[in-house]
């Protein structure tokens, strides 16, 4: 009997590079499963985190899962950090933003690049997948709805949000899509193109 994950067999993503941008939503912990699954399937995964995200999940978690140093600031010393926001986005075949908070979505629409993650996103040279996650009232806010519509108009791909139990103890739309659904969307998009670095 076939399963949903048959199309994402081990090493199916060999040669692909994915930049995963983790924002400061409580659902950040669920992104660890996505990073692990991508790495197990052979993708090169680089994780960048907002300062808020590092308060929810330790960067070491993503470093262990990806096998790579996690990017958290534009201001670190060292030769490997020169124009980091340009270099890492040039090699990425896809940029995944999860969880995409209302704040980050607003920054994207406004063209604001005031930290590492927002700078990476605005420098993206590949398709961008946005996975919203927020309180149901935030998701229903007409400003957020307008921002989401703008992202779609510019070709960003949205996955979710789902409806369900939220961290604020409420129930409604705004719950981050499940890791397997995010993985399915990412794999589907990657397999539509050849890896940049082959």
Which are the catalytic amino acids?
168
**Residues 6+ positions from 65 with CB-CB distance below 8 Å:** 32, 35, 36, 39, 45
C-beta separation of 117 from 48 below 8 A:
yes
H helices present in 46-83, as ranges: 51-54, 59-66
Q: How far apart, in Å, do the first and last CA atoms of the chain sit?
A: 33
How many other C-beta atoms can be found within 10 angstroms of the C-beta atom of residue 68? 14
C-beta separation of 163 from 170 below 8 A:
no
**Residues 6+ positions from 79 with CB-CB distance below 8 Å:** none
Measured CA to CA, the distance from residue 96 to residue 73 in angstroms comes to 18
Measured CA to CA, the distance from residue 65 to residue 55 in angstroms comes to 18
């Amino acid at each position: 009997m076939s399963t949903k994950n048959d199309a994402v067999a081990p090493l199916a993503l060999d040669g692909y590079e994915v930049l995963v941008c983790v924002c400061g939503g409580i659902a950040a912990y669920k992104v660890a499963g996505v990073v692990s699954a991508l790495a197990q399937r052979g993708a090169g995964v680089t994780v960048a985190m907002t300062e808020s995200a590092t308060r929810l999940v330790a960067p070491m978690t993503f470093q262990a899962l990806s096998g790579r140093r996690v990017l958290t600031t534009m201001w670190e010393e060292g030769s490997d950090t020169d124009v980091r926001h340009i270099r890492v986005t040039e090699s990425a075949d896809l940029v995944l933003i999860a969880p995409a908070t209302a704040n980050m979505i607003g920054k994207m629409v406004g063209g604001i690049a005031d930290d590492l993650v927002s700078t990476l996103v605005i420098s993206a040279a590949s398709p961008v997948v946005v996975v919203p996650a927020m309180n149901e009232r935030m998701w229903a806010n007409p400003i957020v709805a307008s921002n989401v519509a703008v992202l779609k108009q510019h070709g960003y791909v949205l996955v979710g949000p789902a409806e369900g139990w939220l961290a604020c103890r409420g129930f409604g739309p705004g719950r981050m899509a499940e890791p397997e659904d995010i993985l399915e969307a990412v794999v589907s998009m990657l397999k539509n193109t050849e890896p940049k670095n082959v």
